[in-house]
Amino acid sequence: MGLDDALIFTRVVECHSFTQAAQSLGMQKSTVSRRIALLEERLGVRLLNRTTRKLRLTEVGLAYYERCRQIMLDFAEAEQAVMQLQQEPSGLLRVTAPIEFGQLFLGKVLGSFMRQYPQITAEVEITSRNVDPLEEGVDIAIMIGQPQDSTLIARKLFESARRLCASPAYLAAHGTPRTVEALAGHRAVLLPQDSQRYWMLQGESVPCQRVLYCNNITFAREAVLAGAGIAALPLMFTEPAVRRGELIELLPEARLPSGEIYAVYPSRRFQAMKVKAFLDFLMRSLPVQEGHLLEPAAASLIRSRL
């Protein structure tokens, strides 16, 4: 009511007429007159002296009009500023991402985005912890797996296929499993997307002996290279080592659940242009085909075009 009344009062003063003010506002003259009367009653002062021929502001009315006019100007400027933000991405963009995603992709993509939109500044946290965008004021949180919070919007970026790998030294000491059943009991290096006691292969759980658990893919790969055990690792992190013979892929025909990466943000309603623009730019820039992250050779080719 307060802002509406201020608008009506300001329009009456500027039109010097209840009739013209009502016409400009699309209201009945009687409604405008009643609203001004109720405003004066609520404030406990007379704002306008009325005669049959003209309106005259009282001293208090003049002071009130000057404040209302400034409020209307500030409101118009605020609306204009918002519309400009929606037209051209600008302002501070706050992003969080898993360590490996940040190192492999995010820096390159965000740098290219900021080159295209120089009015953007950014704060990025590369972290292994789960981030709540609402609680921490983050525009976009990139995370592994879909969040359980139904108040958040989750946009799937890609799936990352995984493979079981071990080092030649580990296989020489513990044997090479040739079937899914033969995996049972092998020493396992597990990541958060794994179960704590088994691998999921071909839709079935295969028991394993957990000897190491960590929340970092690069750390897990290095431990596997050193012979700690078998791990289910994303293709992007194993392909070079497999080509060099430092890692051996096990049971390539066995299907492992893919790792899903999501961009999570609070709401689509009134989404800032900077958020929408960056999400679209990110989707276009990632080396993805048919929803899956490409392997290194193709990915490098695509990233070189950014």
Task: Give burial (CB, 10 Å; 0-12/13-18/19+) of 259.
Answer: buried
Q: Note the pLDDT of residue 195.
A: 75
Same structural domain for residues 144 and 275? yes
Q: Note the pLDDT of residue 73.
A: 83
In a domain, 122, yes or no: yes
Please tell me the least confidently modeled range out of 177-186, 211-220, 261-270, 289-298: 289-298
In a domain, 255, yes or no: no
Q: What global pTM score does this model have?
A: 0.61
Q: Note the pLDDT of residue 303.
A: 43
- For the stretch 251-284, pLDDT in tens is 988 878 777 889 998 866 556 788 989 999 998 8
Same structural domain for residues 77 and 7? yes
In terms of residue numbers, what domain contains 77? 1-85
Does the pLDDT value for residue 191 go beyond 70? yes
**Domain CATH for 210:** 3.40.190.10
CA distance 94 to 125: 8
Work out the percent of the chain whose per-residue pLDDT is above 70.
89
In a domain, 63, yes or no: yes
Please tell me the total count of domains within the chain.
3
The CA–CA distances, whole Å, from 201 to 112, 221, 228, 251 equal 39, 20, 21, 10
CA distance 257 to 213: 18
Q: Note the pLDDT of residue 302.
A: 36
Q: Note the pLDDT of residue 86.
A: 63
With cut-offs at 50, 70 and 90, classify the pLDDT of residue 142: very high
